[in-house]
Amino acid sequence: MKKKLFIITVLMLLLNLNAGLNNPTAMGSSWSNALLLKGIDAVRYNPATLGFSDNYKGSINFFPLSVMLQNSFSRNVYDDYVAEGGDNSWSESDIDNILGQLDDKWRFQNNVNFDLIGFSTQKKAFTLNLETIQDITFPEAVFELLLKGNEMGVTYDFNDFDAEEMSTASLGYSFAEQVKLDGVTEIFKEFSVGATIRYIYAIPTTPIEDLDENSNEDMTVAYFKMDNVDAYLSTEDIVDSSSTAQGATTVKGSFDLLTSEGGQGLGIDLGVAAKINKKMNIGLSVKNILAGISWYKNNRIYKYDFEVDGILLSEMDSVGVDTTYTLKNVAETRKFFTVLPPELRLDFTWEFHPGNQRLFWTNSYIQGFKNELLSTTMPKFSTGIQWNHKSADWFIFRAGITGGGDALYSSAAGFSLAFSHYSFDIAVENKYGYGTSSKGLGVAIGQKFYW
């Protein structure tokens, strides 16, 4: 049974496909080069860079594509512990090693972000994109229980389960302006402030069927959240019909499912960026400094109970186990508000190699303030390089590494073929190690015109 559960879990995580806002010009340096990005590329990271004097007079991108395959386990774990045709019996240290891959959580994340329109002028930019966010978190104790088993007579709580999904369209307007006050110009070569204002409109994209067995109505929602989860597992000594003492497992609990078919809101990002001199740039930005969505259309709360009662441990490999879900109540609810989690970003860039080459050292620090909707309170630091030779400035190479955040470690590389008014960009990012030690691989491709 352990083998079956483990294989199913690994396959679920391997199929966790994440197509996200992975701009290839940012991915190539492992997200550390925000202060070098220009035009439409700069908007997501620090809108203040639109105000720099060397920004493009105009730019437009063409349907950038990115795919990220990310999971919690490396191929090594499968090779080492799930031997084909073997008994797959694991020692205590083997189990601890497997659980150590989870990084104290078991999380499924998907972020699909597709730019429909993106163009910029020298100090302004306009974007229209579609986004779907899925964030599902399981307590690590669930997986630990599957591998280590449970003690007789002990009750285990699983109340940390959380699931949230939303789909939106966002229309953004970004702008920046240089500050030329006497005190500022004495310190900085250039100093720019900028902002992005987004109108967010919810789009129903997630079909949900059979929520209410008393209704023939099928719903397509723009938002759902599993909340107020109360679940526990216990195993007690019982005597079965053959008067044999053994253990029986009971799983009971309840949860609420909050749904909405529509909403709208606003988002505001702020940034400042400065050129200290010809070689050094610094910047600070806050994404979602004020951002949220008000859900107002057909809001409902579905309250469920579930139970698996009295399953004999000796029969769990041979009989199916059906969970009984009982809908206790359906209630209309007034509109509610979702706050989008803010993230702070600090950037520093230094051109430190003079002569016929341009070599930039790029750095960023990202700090989230909530563990939800793809944000994390685990700090993330990225460092990288961007290089080109002045005699062949049409070829730009980037590379970088990241520590912290959800992935804890990743590395990336990429390049641009940047001609007079056209650029083709590609990047590859790898999570954790390489080869069979890798836990994820991403590829991003984009192209743009600029002038």
Predicted local distance difference test score (pLDDT) of residue 102: 63
pTM exceeding the 0.95 threshold for the entire prediction? no
Element (H or E) spanning 14, and its range?
Answer: helix 2-14
Segments of 122-222 assigned E as strands? 124-138, 155-157, 162-178, 190-202, 206-208, 219-221
| Per-residue confidence (pLDDT) for residue 333, from 0 to 100 | 86
Cα dihedral across residues 69, 74, 77, 80: positive or negative: positive
Q: How many CA atoms lie within 13 A of 429 on its CB side?
A: 33
Domain with 96, as residue range(s), is 2-450
3 state SS of 78: helix
Residue 122: φ, ψ to 5°: -65, -35
pLDDT tens digits, the chain, 451 residues: what are they?
444 444 434 444 433 333 344 588 999 999 999 999 999 989 889 999 999 999 999 999 876 665 555 555 656 666 666 655 445 567 777 777 767 666 556 666 666 777 777 899 989 999 998 888 887 777 776 767 766 666 666 777 777 777 888 999 999 999 999 999 988 999 999 999 999 999 999 998 877 765 655 555 667 889 988 888 877 777 665 545 554 444 556 777 788 888 999 999 999 999 999 999 989 999 999 999 999 999 999 898 888 887 765 554 444 444 444 555 567 777 888 889 999 999 999 999 999 877 789 999 999 999 999 877 778 888 999 999 999 998 888 999 999 999 988 767 889 999 999 999 999 999 988 877 666 666 677 788 888 999 9
Antiparallel, parallel or unpaired: β 262-275 and 245-260: unpaired
Number of domains making up the chain: 1
Instruction: Indicate the helix (H) or strand (E) that contains 82.
Output: none
Q: Which pLDDT value is given to residue 131?
A: 84
Token pair 């988002």 in the structure block, residue? 267
- Residue 63 is predicted with a pLDDT of 66
pLDDT at 187: 93
